[in-house]
Structure 1
Amino acid sequence: MRACARALGQERNAAIAVFRRVWQLIPFIGEIPIPFVFHFDFTDPSGRLMMASTRRYSLRDRYVITVPDGALDGRVAAAMAVALDALQSR
Structure 2
Amino acid sequence: MELKFEGLPGTDETALNAFFSEMMPLESITLSPRTCRAISRGVCRSLSAVSEGPVKPHFKRQDETRRFSAEAIDKLERCLLDLERIG
Q: Do both share a fold (TM > 0.5)?
A: no
Question: Could you say which TM-score interval applies, normalised by the shorter chain?
Answer: under 0.3
Q: Which has the higher helix share?
A: 2
**Alignment TM-score, normalising by the size of structure 2:** 0.28
Q: Which has the higher strand share?
A: 1
Structure number with greater CO (CA < 8 Å, separation at least 6) is 1
**Alignment TM-score, normalising by the size of structure 1:** 0.27
Larger radius of gyration: 2
